[in-house]
Structure 1
């Protein structure tokens, strides 16, 4: 290996592991409605407007935190804030509409979301959780979108891996027997009995295309730092889905170094943190039932405010904190993985 390639790898490793700061904003319904029996008052028509309001709220907070105007009135990043993330998240089912979206409606919505994401400055992230989508087989998908904003935005779209029988559902007027009370079949890659099918990034060969379950990915920030982002939708956390996917990557992919910083977010309704499923000691829990759960070292002075969207919603804005690191178990595996990758490229330990 030439000295030039070696130096580039060493520089990339140092940049990747620069300290990252996170500020979380959690949206919740200030009125405790019965999510399980009454899906959200959002309609398929009002949903894009509601999501746009979320983008505006996130942008306002992100600009106030990390940007300032130059002499020309243009927003520029503040000094030493290139690796600061502002992130808006919400519990599972928050974006369920009165009627589920069709696949065509969902695809149109994704196009609109991509346009909205281009209006955000880099390092502004939004977890849209979750959307009800009926696939080409008539099954109900519980789907989330994690948005990385910027001129070239990145959208991570993934569907709940294992549905719970008590998940929000709808009357299926298109049921073959015509009985309106019949519900949609909830999509699951996993079976709810004791014979799971294993963890997969996606299920292929379904009518209407593949369904993604890829809930672990790497995020790169404006200043060059990067981290692993893991996301679990409710029962997927109990199943250890994200942890299983990440461990498989460590065992099978030795082409790239893995950053040492990580974030794990759980979007749910009635889920607790499961020790065996943790990638970090304190995952961020966005749950409509457990609104006041301890989120770790987020500080005690979180700000609660009403957004402009509606009096029905409020937002908890938490103080900035350092990005998480892996549990000791996974930290050791990441270190072993990076040593093996380093050997391939001639990097010293």
Structure 2
């Protein structure tokens, strides 16, 4: 790294700290500390994830899930993908410090062209961050953790913007749903995310407040809405430390799946059996090399897509 680049980064860091210190944190982050997480979805030991975590994963590369065929639903406006994800950490990725300096409150239904939708999940204690939980467990049998938590909805103005292409949903039967999209980095900086942190939110009524019912999976949440009556949103936090970087102008393929079992997975079963439309969004954790446990920063990847099931 050149001295000129080091100086520029130091100046940017200082400016970010000064700007954030002069802002009213109550507007963005502090409200999230007034609530505890509604549910800790799963703390897994070894390779066993338990019945609450059924299926899910990230597929890297253009052939993920293959082409959309019978049983798939495509949203309008899909375009052709370009580029691939770079797994090497770049010199100047977006950082949580930068995002803190440009965070503004976000309201349900609000749209902005100059900002990126995000979540800031403040933690009552450091180990409420699953990455910190696993790091500090000092137990070789604990290798993975997923937490379902309340977060403050925010905008990151002129932040790590992404678009998507070739987004579609596949439904095998009343107990299976998978979604995929090619995510393009259209911002000026590289975007570093925790590789396994990507999850999809499937909402049957995203414009309403949640009725409290939601099912969580390894990489998916399915329910009425991610928003609750207090204006907070919920997220699925993963403990992965592996990093994937999307350079400006490049892309990755994100794919997640949820599968239920007879007699369980009520939200997924009801969603598909009722034939109602639903909206899918992808989210990811902004990578921190050594998180303190104060807060987790998430960004939305691409756009929200509404899908109409066959017969509607």
Q: Report if TM-score (shorter chain) is over 0.5.
A: no
Structure with bigger strand share is 2
Larger radius of gyration: 1
